[in-house]
Chain A
Amino acid sequence: MNWDWSAVRDFMPHFWDGLLVTLQALALGSLISFAVGLVWALLMRTPSRWVRWPVGTITEFIRDTPLLVQLFFLFYVLPEWGLTFSALTTGVVAIGLHYSTYTMQVYRAGIDAVPVGQWEAATALSLPARRTWAAVILPQAIRRVVPALGNYVIAMLKDTPMLMAITVLDMLGEARLFSQQHFQFTEPLTVIGVAFVLISYPASLLLRALERRLVR
């Protein structure tokens, strides 16, 4: 095994570019998944089964099929329908949508964990439904699920390399480009592999600490 530090040095500027793109995709993807997941979770609580059934089926379909194929779908099909986005935008939307079907379950668990007394108190005070949700239920539900949502952010981080498949130059994209230009595969791929561990392991430790503080 021959390790070439000069290749690492040459790769580092590309690495930072890639890291920036990865973090951008992660931040925007998380925001989309948090927002859309909440919408799914609320829709799943409507009394009408004509809403719940389609929402349940669609989200399960998105959850059980590979993100990679969904990326291809959005990347190649949307332009056919006349919607042209940049590769990064497409990737962010796909990742956010995919993970919204996971965060939806997290929200659901959080909403279910709010004590029944809170609902009864809201009814007793004859709060309208909108205020019951916005002022009573969701603030308590969301506080409980923050660590669980954080876990999905870490999971999302580990799925961002897939954006490479639709030409986004994230960390893996930069590493692949660099290795093809310089015929040095070992160093860039190892550097980004280590970088992922160095980001995700402290993040999960942080979440564990947060969980100890928030959930009880």
Chain B
Amino acid sequence: MTSGLWELVLKGIWTTVQLLVLSALLATAVSFTVGIARTHRLWIVRFLAGFYTEVFRGTSALIMIFWVFFVLPLAFGWQLVPMWAGTLALGLTYGAYGAEIVRGALNSVDPAQREGGIALSFTPWQRMRKILLPQAVPEMIPPFSNLLVELLKGTALVSVMGMGDLAFSGNLVRLALQESAQIYTYVLLIYFVIAFLLTRLMRKLEHRLKAGAGKAPETKVSVPQPVGGGVS
């Protein structure tokens, strides 16, 4: 591969990383807003939040991307820059998955903690901010870490819309060189390295947050080898 083509790949990596960061930020905001709304005491708020999750989890990320790129401009007259369109589609879709994580973690906090907050006459918002979230957030990190890798894989979808991300630059190089095996192997390896770095980062974050909440980081649960087990 020539240096010009490598430059193309580097540009693709940069676009992918930008898109990943932006859509991860949007998805986090959406998941906390919707996830917390799903534990609200008014049924209409819970219903709307649940409706949002089911619709966005029910449909495919790629269809959302098509919708944002093609239908939004026609139907509402909003022509978005590709980067923002991609961010919007991915952030809203993966935010719906994240909302389920937030809801699950909030529900798994010991009810006595919430009752303690009520007894001390905390307002609902103070309860959420000072009692529930500090205990729930560390529990969310491992599933969020998985979701982040899924989001990274999801960013490849924007290449279908002609956005110059890593997968798209891979296609361009293939057209230039006609050596599919080599270039796609590189592209897959780069995605793998990014995913590896992300999971490492999230594990560090988990340790720090758990220490902050006064809990020991989860030690790896070793599954005992069953007697006489294993394919032999």
Q: A and B, one complex?
A: yes
Q: Are B156 and A69 neighbours in the complex by a CB distance under 8 Å?
A: yes
**Contact of B181 (CB < 8 Å), options: A2, A77, A116, A201:** A77
The smallest C-beta distance from A74 to any residue of chain B, in angstroms, reads 9
The smallest C-beta distance from A8 to any residue of chain B, in angstroms, reads 14
The interface on chain A, measured as residues whose beta carbon lies within 8 A of the other chain's beta carbons, has a size of 54
The smallest C-beta distance from B90 to any residue of chain A, in angstroms, reads 12
> Given contacts A61-B192, A65-B191, A69-B170, is CB(A129)–CB(B232) below 8 Å?
yes
Bound together, the chains give a CA A142 to CA B74 distance in angstroms of 48
Bound together, the chains give a CA A68 to CA B232 distance in angstroms of 37
Q: Are B188 and A70 neighbours in the complex by a CB distance under 8 Å?
A: yes
Q: Are B184 and A116 neighbours in the complex by a CB distance under 8 Å?
A: no
Bound together, the chains give a CA A172 to CA B67 distance in angstroms of 11
- Does B202 lie at the interface of the complex (its beta carbon under 8 Å from any beta carbon of A)? no
Q: Which of A19-69 contact B (CB under 8 A)?
A: 42-43, 45-47, 61, 64-69
Chain B residue at minimal CB-CB distance from A63: B149
Binding site for A on B (CB under 8 A): 54-55, 57-64, 66-67, 70-71, 74-76, 149, 152-157, 159-160, 167, 170-171, 174, 180-181, 184-185, 187-188, 191-192, 195-196, 223-224, 226-232
Binding site for B on A (CB under 8 A): 1-2, 42-43, 45-47, 61, 64-70, 72-73, 76-77, 80-81, 112, 114, 116, 119-120, 122-123, 129, 132-133, 157-162, 164-165, 172, 175-176, 179, 185-186, 189-190, 192-193, 196-197, 200-201, 204
